[in-house]
Structure 1
Amino acid sequence: MSLETVVEEIRDEARSQAEEIHEEAEQEADRIVEEAEQEADEIIQEAEREVEREISQEREQKLSSAKLEAKHERMEARREAIAQAREQVEERIADLSGDERRELTRELLEDALAEFDEGEELAVHYAPGDEDLIEDLLSDYDGVHVAGEYDCLGGVVVESEESRVRVKNTFDSVLDDVWEDELKQISNRLFDEGDEEE
């Protein structure tokens, strides 16, 4: 075998190995590119799922927040409506006059006086503007005298100096009791609530 033949064989062998290495490298590169594309697809899909989750969470949070805000606004509107209704009732009570005011005041006075022992000296406070009415009503009682104005819509506050007892029988105190007892029904009537709260 000549030197040229040996050199040629070595070159052929080197070319063959180079082609093999090149083919293997291309296959490896294709495999790496395919894996990278699959990984990129998975990353994109996971990112899309994460974005959808975040959008869904944000939508739920905003919806929940909007519902809560609406509930607070509804409750505030109800409170204001109930307060306005209370003011209107107080105005009507304050405007009571004539026989109706006299009769209610007399009943409250009698109930208050019944809380004291006979013979006690009693002082009666009254609503501004009711002095004449109270003086007239007290003319039927011994040991009971007019004591002065009391800040209320009407009725009386009766005090005994001996026993230090005070009975508050005012239109306001009666209204407070009735209002407290009937608040749920008042609310239901104002807001026509057959429907339940959310």
Structure 2
Amino acid sequence: MGLEAVVGDIKEKGKREVAAVQAETRAEVTRILTEAQERAAGIKQQASEEVERDVQRIINQEVSAANLSVKREMLNAEKDTLGRVHDTVVTRIAGMPATFHEMALRALLPEAAAAVGGGVVYCNARDIPTVKKILAESKELAAFSIGEPISVEGGVVIESADGRMKIDYSYRTFLETVWESGLKDASDILFP
């Protein structure tokens, strides 16, 4: 075999080895690229899922905050409405005819006399003539005197003779008692 044949064999063998290395390199490059693409797709999917979870969490928080805000506004509106109803009731009771106030005072004063015995009766300026008349007519109320007018819609405040006890029989006090006990019922009726 001549030198040319040996050189040809070596070249041929080198070409085959180069082709094999190139094929092996291409296969390795393809495998690496495929793995990289799979990892990138996995990372992209994971990031997409995290973004979706974050978006859903933010939406849930915003919806909860909006619901809370709406509920707070509703409660404030209900409270405002109930406050206006309360004020209207107080105003209407204060505006009742004189016969109503006299009838109420005739019921309240003997009750106060039973609880206190004697002392000073305080009422609004409108009711002073009526209270004076009731005190003058009743022997059981003889131990009471009338004090300076106070700012109440109606009813009386009684102070014992020694000043240690006060009984509030004003309309507002009665209304507050009824209001507190019936507030839930009133709210249920007004805001079903």
Instruction: Tell me the TM-score normalized by structure 2.
Output: 0.92
Partner of 1:143: 143
- State how far apart, in whole Å, the 2-side matches of 1:80 and 1:60 are: 30
Partner of 1:175: 175
- State how far apart, in whole Å, the 1-side matches of 2:43 and 2:189 are: 59
Partner of 1:75: 75
- Of stretches 24-33 and 158-167 in structure 1, the one that deviates more from structure 2 is 158-167
SS at match of 2:147: strand
Alpha-carbon distance, 1:68 to partner: 0.8
- State how far apart, in whole Å, the 2-side matches of 1:163 and 1:91 are: 30
SS at match of 2:133: helix
What is the root-mean-square deviation in Å for CA atoms of aligned residues? 1.5
Paired AA for residue 133 in structure 2: D
- What is the aligned counterpart of 2:130 among 130, 133, 141? 133
Gaps spanning 5+ residues in structure 1: where?
A: 194-198
Partner of 1:31: 31
Paired AA for residue 64 in structure 1: S
Percent identical among aligned pairs is 29
- State how many pairs are aligned: 189
The structure with the greater share of residues assigned to helix is 2
Large movers: runs of 4+ above 6 Å: none
* Alignment partner of 1:101 is 2:101: yes
Paired AA for residue 3 in structure 2: L
Alpha-carbon distance, 1:6 to partner: 2.5
Instruction: Tell me the TM-score normalized by structure 1.
Output: 0.89
- State how far apart, in whole Å, the 2-side matches of 1:167 and 1:55 are: 62
- What is the aligned counterpart of 1:124 among 118, 121, 124? 121
Alpha-carbon distance, 1:163 to partner: 6.1
Alpha-carbon distance, 1:57 to partner: 1.4
